[in-house]
Amino acid sequence: MKVAVLVKATKDSEAGVMPTEEMFREMGEFNEALVKAGIMISGDGLHPSSKGVRIQFSGTSRTVVDGPFAETKELVAGFWVWQVKSMAEAIEWVKRCPNPMPGPSEIEIRPMFEPEDFGEEFTPELREQEERLRGEIASKG
């Protein structure tokens, strides 16, 4: 099962406060353990929402909204993509994670869709296209 592990933003991360050297070291050790265990596929930190934009859709209309965005607790400051055996395994790994922020923080785990989750609407032709595109991405990676 593939999961997205989302590090929620805080007032500090939205203000651009960078992690301390100790936090970088601890997270680096945690990431090494994830890689050695074959869990981590990717992961990155994100700039504050003040450097981002949102594109709002309404029918054929598109509206670009510049950050920052108000609801800090709903924003993401970083992420990992992990391959795990179960949600329970992902939870156990997150429990081992050093606190990603200087104060209270939160990490959310969300399962990622697999092709079989989409049902009949995801036709064999669409599945073939998806596999081809994933192959192209991997070859450029």
CB atoms within 10 A of CB 10: 20
Residues 68/50, Cβ–Cβ less than 8 Å: yes
Fold category of 2-116 in CATH = Alpha-Beta Plaits (3.30.70)
Q: Which tens digits make up the pLDDT trace of 41-63? A: 999 999 999 999 999 999 999 99
- The proportion of the chain whose per-residue pLDDT surpasses 70, expressed as a percent, equals 100
Q: Whose CA is closest to 117, among 100, 130, 107, 99?
A: 130
Cα-to-chain-centroid distance, residue 99: 16
Domain ranges in the chain? 2-116
Q: 101: buried, middle or exposed (CB in 10 Å: 19+, 13-18, 0-12)?
A: buried
| Amino acid letter for position 50 | S
Quote the pTM value.
Answer: 0.91
User: What is the rounded average pLDDT for all residues in the chain?
Assistant: 96
